[in-house]
Structure 1
């Protein structure tokens, strides 16, 4: 155990100072100070809708604010880092009033700020050394992912370093399992934790109308089932892609009208789909606007994700961001909740709870195919519930309140 701890710490120290600033970067306290300095590693990539919404709202709300981006996470979504300049240009074209607030990490970086903010444990940890050196207070959101793992030596080390820092002020968490883990293991007291269930989503998703398109779709003699997730491991075992394909193969034998749609990092080479090749469409990664166009044609989205497969202790938030987007486009949601993170949505009212098995998926899909009233009722209920839970009033108001408190 001692060897594992030493090895983890050695690995952490090796990479901890290479993430935010390069070795040639010069940090300085300029005359111009801001109230809020945000950092991210992929903003404003269009595939990350929740970041676009959250950071844009913060930049607009806090007059003296800016965001510094080191786009190292572009590779995670199969994008070239050289595309970052293009994405920044598109962003400032859409929000010209924020042009002066977007900074790409270059040689000279002014870090004069009252408060620092970022999301994910890997981002805050890799900035901790200079935050402590310059005595800059910070708040961060501990989303699932981004290096956060339960009962993991390396992650626990990072959590203790960050949450015991004299510059730490508050951590925002989005899942009760995260809150309980921090408190139970003595990482942080409850008074320094703000719990906001769910996550931020682009707000235009909440006001789009899908009724007209859905009526056109009803005239088609097809039933469309989709799967949407990023690919982080072979066969997408952590997202349940293997289970989805197994269910698709079974459903296609009995229902000729069913069609399958795969969105994200998967293609024909991941799992053999020869038997349903003519009934399956692969879309690859899609930006937020394209997702809406696809979801408008879907009847059901299946999210059979599993915890602790990608890495020991790694888990997804409930529900996935793509599931939220689908629900807001009037798609019936089938999803797992093996860690019992749900405390808001009602099974068989707002969504259908499934197990991560082909049999469970098949049973749920066939229920919907043979019961139009059930499908209609769940769509109506989920649309209203998801709109309420993921409104900026629910999601951003408490986040802004936390940041204002420490500025």
Structure 2
């Protein structure tokens, strides 16, 4: 008996079986879809706005699919594989079982339309899109590789908009719109301006907990900071300024308490003097926030474009929108004058980057708590109007349906 020949034959059989398996997988996923979404972080539930937007598409377009690379899990500090994340996602959303699969550049994909969000995503997928001859629409959100007046950004935009497969781009902030026009990356007819972003407003507003009011249902005046930790000191999101404000306020008022959600830790910036007045929660998913926000008096977001030259947040941040939707008074910066929807001092408070001024503003509303409560109520109504998920999604669905053609399966 020639053991070497037997081993060789077994190895060849194994290779043949793997090849057949691969071909079957490609074949099984090469059906004609109406909509295929490409992403680098879905279906991680920590990215709540992706869950809200992509789930809406999956629900309204049954003949759709999400292909994910999972390469951005690490950005949110997650050391976990795609298979485990998909399994968890399908436990929460069993109606979408089998709708999320691993991206494979060599997979044959047939679709009426490709959709994704962020510049880095569309740039990283553009070769795959063109290889499969697929038309595409994408949302150019702030962040994700989009930095005003940056050479790398301009290179990516040039590559993407020069593609013969490009159909439309959705922009959510007016400076993004102006930049694309001024730099002649595309024409006004190729741009759809939809202010704001998609947040899980339905989850937040349908599960509101009874509001707890200072000196009525609780003894503390509670201020929160909610933002992902993208860098140790959180300069971009203003975590350093938040801590300065907290220290000044806590030194004068024993009943002020500060709450940190999103990954920052006590060791990032020295908070020893706040030991009895600060709580860290780590990263949380959407289901945590209704109860959490019911006990918050205001959310403070002193974010500024200081992370990378040309980088900026949309106004307001997704976390701020979720807090306001939940009835929390919103105090935030608007360094780039992007606000086009909300009334200052009536529906929110636009703050400066000056710590003393921030403290004075907060103390004014602390002393006039009835005005803070009214501000929170009016803000909640305004955000429910602008960030209602149907209000945000309807123009997106209309655009996507138009780009897919008359025979799409949109509900």
Shift, 1:258, TM fit: 0.5
Secondary structure, counterpart of 1:224 in structure 2: strand
Shift, 1:27, TM fit: 7.3
Shift, 1:29, TM fit: 10
Q: CA separation in 2, counterparts of 1:113 and 1:365?
A: 52
Instruction: Sort the Cα spacing of 1:79 and 1:163 in 2 relative to 1 into closer, same or farther, 3 A.
Output: same
Instruction: Sort the Cα spacing of 1:30 and 1:96 in 2 relative to 1 into closer, same or farther, 3 A.
Output: closer
Shift, 1:272, TM fit: 1.0
**Any conservation in 2 of the 1:66–1:101 contact (CA below 8 Å)?**
yes
Give the equivalent residue in structure 2 for 1:306.
304
Matched, 1:366 2:363: yes
Q: CA separation in 1, counterparts of 2:48 and 2:399?
A: 22
Give the equivalent residue in structure 2 for 1:131.
129
**Any conservation in 2 of the 1:28–1:108 contact (CA below 8 Å)?**
no
Shift, 1:206, TM fit: 2.6
**Any conservation in 2 of the 1:44–1:91 contact (CA below 8 Å)?**
yes
Q: List alignment gaps of at least 5 residues for structure 1.
A: 1-23
Any residues of structure 2 matched to 1:321-340 within 5 Å, and which? 321-340=318-337
Instruction: Sort the Cα spacing of 1:140 and 1:63 in 2 relative to 1 into closer, same or farther, 3 A.
Output: same
- Per-residue CA distance 1:192-229 (angstroms, 9 max, x = gap): 1001110101122133334x242597332210111111
Deviates further, 198-207 or 381-390: 198-207
Shift, 1:291, TM fit: 2.6
Shift, 1:110, TM fit: 3.5
Any residues of structure 2 matched to 1:225-236 within 5 Å, and which? 225-236=223-234
Instruction: Sort the Cα spacing of 1:89 and 1:249 in 2 relative to 1 into closer, same or farther, 3 A.
Output: same
Q: CA RMSD in A?
A: 1.9
- Per-residue CA distance 1:241-269 (angstroms, 9 max, x = gap): 11111111111111111011111121111
Give the equivalent residue in structure 1 for 2:204.
205
Secondary structure, counterpart of 1:239 in structure 2: coil
TM-score in terms of structure 2 length:
0.89
Give the equivalent residue in structure 2 for 1:176.
174
Shift, 1:108, TM fit: 6.0
Give the equivalent residue in structure 2 for 1:189.
187
Q: List alignment gaps of at least 5 residues for structure 2.
A: 1-21, 405-411
Shift, 1:360, TM fit: 2.3
Give the equivalent residue in structure 2 for 1:295.
293
Matched, 1:93 2:91: yes
State how many pairs are aligned: 381
Instruction: Sort the Cα spacing of 1:220 and 1:97 in 2 relative to 1 into closer, same or farther, 3 A.
Output: closer
User: Moved runs in structure 1, 4+ residues, more than 4 A?
Assistant: 24-31
Structure whose CA Rg is larger: 2
Any residues of structure 2 matched to 1:5-404 within 5 Å, and which? 32-82=31-81, 84-105=82-103, 109-202=107-200, 203-210=202-209, 212-214=210-212, 218-307=216-305, 309-404=306-401
**Any conservation in 1 of the 2:214–2:297 contact (CA below 8 Å)?**
no
Deviates further, 212-221 or 264-273: 212-221
**Any conservation in 2 of the 1:217–1:297 contact (CA below 8 Å)?**
no
TM-score in terms of structure 1 length:
0.89
Q: CA separation in 2, counterparts of 1:302 and 1:343?
A: 20
Q: CA separation in 2, counterparts of 1:289 and 1:264?
A: 14
Give the equivalent residue in structure 2 for 1:406.
403
